[in-house]
Every structure is written in structure tokens, then in C-alpha cells.
Structure 1
Amino acid sequence: MEINDLLEADADVAAYPYPFRVISLKEGVAQLGSPRSAQFSAIQALRIMYPDLKKAGAVSDEMMAAQDELARVQSHVGKLVKSQEDVNSVRWVLDQQWLTENGAQFF
């Protein structure tokens, strides 16, 4: 089974609004797409994934819960990928393509 098939088959990952996936696997390093990074905050990403959060404050209960869920699912994805025999480590990279396709603007 391909790693991305494994991710798609996982109920938690499949139900999440961001499609976590392996972009490449080279020499044991799995490069995974992420909706957040130092250049694009979790709050910005969550406002794209959850339109109801567009007006929510950064420290609102709804935003904090969404951040916790993003962290939980992303951690779960990392563990699933690292559990594969041919994966030694995971490297997260900002998925600018997905974000742009969903309304993000990068300057």
C-alpha cells in the first residue's frame, strides 16, 4: 500500500479538511505537505479550512479548539508516515499550491 493510500484510508485523516499527503520520499525522508509554517500561520490556514473562523479571534475558544485539532491530526499523520518501513524521518513543507487554490495569497 502506498503511504498516501494509507493516509486516505485513515478515518481521522480522511475527515480532516486539509488533504495531508506525502509529496516525496527520498533516502528515507518523507516530505509532507502542511497548511502551516513559519511563513503561513496556523490561524491563517484554519481560516481557509473553516470559513466560520474567518471572523474568530486568534485566542477565541473556537480558534483554539481548531488549532488543537490541527496539531492532533498533523501529529497523527507524522506518526503514521514514520511507522512505514522505508521512512526514517518526516520533513514538513508548506503546501502553497493547495493554499493558493483555496484562496490564500502570498506576497
Structure 2
Amino acid sequence: MKLKLMILDKNIITGESNQNDSWERVSNKLEEEYKELQEAITEGDRHHISEEAFDVAQVLVRIFVLLGKEKYDLLQLNRRHNKKLVNRGWKESKFINIFIK
């Protein structure tokens, strides 16, 4: 299985651009999408849940892009995160690989 999440550039309909993203905009969008995901889970509609879960994932991509723009090493941050999980007793069942092209 190969999933593709886009690193967004410009919206040709609304004129929005992620090139000038900010932590405030991302925070607001994350809150909006999180609430929509919570509503979908409450409804129990699996199709709606999947749509909103991908919307939350898309906001996470925006966060990773912002961190990269601020020169954070995403690989190092990812390793630290995984180490934290292992130190808390978690074992992996599989990995999701993310490649940026």
C-alpha cells in the first residue's frame, strides 16, 4: 500500500498559500480539523472519519514543512520521538515510511 500526502503550495480557487504559513494559522486549522474529526467519530460514519483523519494528517504535514523551513532536522526529531515511545514501553508492529520527492 502506498499513500500520498501532498505538500501544498497554493490554492488556485481561494488564493491561499502555504508558502507564507504561520504557527497561528496552522494552530487554528489543527483545532478546526480536530473538532471535525471528533464530530465524525461521534457520528460513527467511517467515511466521514477517514476524510477528517486525512485532514488532520494534512495539517501535520504543514507542521513538518514549517519545522523544515525553520531548519529543524526532521529525521533527528523523528528518531527522538521513536526513542521516546520505545522508552515508554511501546513496540512497533509496522512502520510507515514517508518520502519527500
TM range (shorter): 0.3 to 0.5
Higher relative contact order (CA 8 A, sep 6+): 1
**Structure with the larger strand share:** 1
Relative to its length, the structure with more helix (as a share) is 2
